[in-house]
Structure 1
Amino acid sequence: MQGSKVVRQSVQGKWALVTGASAGIGLALAEQLAASGANLVLTARRADRLEALAGRFIGEYGIKAQVIAVDLADPAAPQKLFSATEDSGLVIDILINNAGFGYYGEFTKGDAAWQRQMVDLNCAAVVHLTNLFLPKMVDRKRGYLMIVASTASYQPLAYMATYAATKVFDRFLAEALAHEVAKHGVMVSALCPGPTDSEFNEVAGLHQIPGRKSQSAEEVARLGLEGLVEGKPWVIPYTAGKIMVFMQRLAPRRLVSGAAAKMFRPKG
């Protein structure tokens, strides 16, 4: 894989920490960074998978890579991750907050503990990790922070209500921080993908919606990283998503949310 030239110019030789790096968009982001010359700290729950990926990235791209297996739904995990990088003397200049999952189905039929865990991982862990690593970037007057949100963050989404709400949180957090820390030389961006080839649908239990084409995780990652280093506070990596978001600004909210509910209503 060839890394993006514009990304390479910004990340080569720097250390990047990628959460949820074992599959899907997280894996694609990690590989794009490795191909662009960044060193990696890979984190997710599956240590064996991370070790295999780290070995491959080292062999193919000549970078350095470390693995720290944690479950970021555990409130203690962000501090463990931060302490591990600090104890190793690693300067994390790029933080990719990607770890997360979704739930598809009627809210009243969803498991309460599972949805609470989704909020903990998609929101609380993102805040905690960002609060640990971002001040160091501000002090150094350099750094990049990506928070992976979703186009689901642009409208109320029936049958994925909690997931969409967590992604609103993520997007708003990223966009607000982008304005706070730009003066310190730190760039923050919300990556807002739509349907993507990944494990997300399988984990969330989401069926394939007719007429919705999936984008490759590799393309999402490439466009997201290019937008991050170019200083874009948000990136929607596909044309249909950009059109959808623009059109929603012109339509009544009730019409938008109603159309989304019809699209996502479970079959049968």
Structure 2
Amino acid sequence: MKQDLAGQWALVTGASSGFGVDFARQLAARGAKLVLVARRAEPMQALARELAGQYGTVSEVESADLSQSGAAHALKATLDARGIHIDILINNAGYGLWGPFLEQPLDRTLDMMQLNMVTLTELTHAFAADMAQRGRGKILLVSSIGAYQATPTYAAYAATKAYVLLFGEALHEELKTKGVTVTVLSPGISATSFLAVSGQRATLYQRLLMMQSAAVVRIGLRALDRGRASIVPGWLNALTAFGNRFMPRMVQRRVAYQLMKN
């Protein structure tokens, strides 16, 4: 693979599993130096050793609970102190909760909202400011196909991802004149730990549409390279998102409810 990112620093959140691991691998293959951030240090340290052995990648491992208020600014201060300036921000950390809204612990829902929206916003603000000042930079925000319609049993999660989609597309217009590219990646169900964390068993619909994590990441990075505002990976996922434009919202949410039932 072409070493087109040699010398650049890429920050990947949620780097201990799933998409985060594949973002790290694919960016390392292109020569990027990495800052890996997640709660669990051991998986990231193992990943850093793997990438050092395979690509000679320099990796900084930061164990941090990004759902905590102020965590984003603390991370930025740490990197500033080390003289690390981020060229590529992969805002990937996040999770979902499945089930009736009233049956989910409120503190868990609020924790999810903090990570999926507030921390993502804080990270974007902190690092985009530096990028705009330098006149270059790339930011990828991970949303979800759930952002395109209300999704019963994922009510709060889908709402957080709708925020990410609209936020990212708006920033794409605001920041492109400053040399900063913002791209939103909205995957459908993928072969990651998402379902296990959310508490849902895979439905027939999800098993039929499931994509491999590495393929989703590859599509997302290609869209970022091309300066696209947003991308829905997989033609069936893209068709679903596009088809919602022609479906009454009442029908959208009822269909989504049926598809999400175990």
TM-score band w.r.t. shorter chain: over 0.9
Aligned partner of 1:71 in structure 2 is 65
Give the counterpart letter for 1:153 in structure 2: A
The one-letter code matched in structure 1 to 2:247 is A
Q: Which runs of 4+ in 1 moved over 6 A?
A: none
Give distance in 2, aligned partners of 1:57 and 1:94: 18
Amino acid at match of 1:19: T
Amino acid at match of 1:227: A
Query: Of residues 99, 114, 118 in structure 2, which corresponds to 1:120?
Result: 114
TM-score by length of structure 2 reads 0.97
Superposed CA offset, 1:170-198 (max 9, x none): 11111000000001111000010001000
Long gaps (5+) in structure 1: none
Maintained 8 Å contact 2:41/2:63: yes
Match of 1:165 among 136, 141, 159: 159
CA deviation after TM superposition for structure 1 residue 12, in Å: 2.8
CA distance in 1, matches of 2:247, 2:163: 22
Question: Which of 204, 217, 220 is equivalent to 2:216?
Answer: 220
- 2:45 matches 1:23: no
Aligned residues: 260
Query: Whole-Å Cα distance in 2 between the matches of residues 72 and 189 of structure 1?
Result: 21
Cα RMSD over matched residues?
A: 1.0
| Distance in 1 between residues matched to 2:250 and 2:240, nearest whole Å | 15
Shift of 1:246: 1.3
Aligned partners of 1:37, 1:162: CA distance in 2, in Å?
37
The 5-angstrom pairing of residues 22-101 of structure 1 reads: 22-101=16-95
TM-score by length of 1: 0.95
Offset from partner CA, 1:213-248 (integer Å, 9 cap, x none) = 311100001110010111011011110011111111
Q: What residue in structure 2 maps to residue 237 of structure 1?
A: 233
C-alpha separation in 1, matches of 2:205 and 2:121 = 35
| Offset from partner CA, 1:64-101 (integer Å, 9 cap, x none) | 11111100001121111101110110110001100001
Cα separation, 2, equivalents of 1:251 and 1:70: 42
Structure 2 residue matching 1:95: 3-state secondary structure: strand
Q: Give % identity.
A: 37
* 2:205–2:259 CA contact under 8 A, matched in 1: no
- Tell me, in whole angstroms, the C-alpha distance in 1 between the residues paired with 2:137 and 2:182: 9
Tell me how far apart the structure 2 counterparts of residues 229 and 187 of structure 1 sit (CA, whole Å): 9
Gaps of 5+ in 2: none
1:261 corresponding residue in structure 2: 257
Task: Tell whether 2:226 aligns with 1:252.
Answer: no
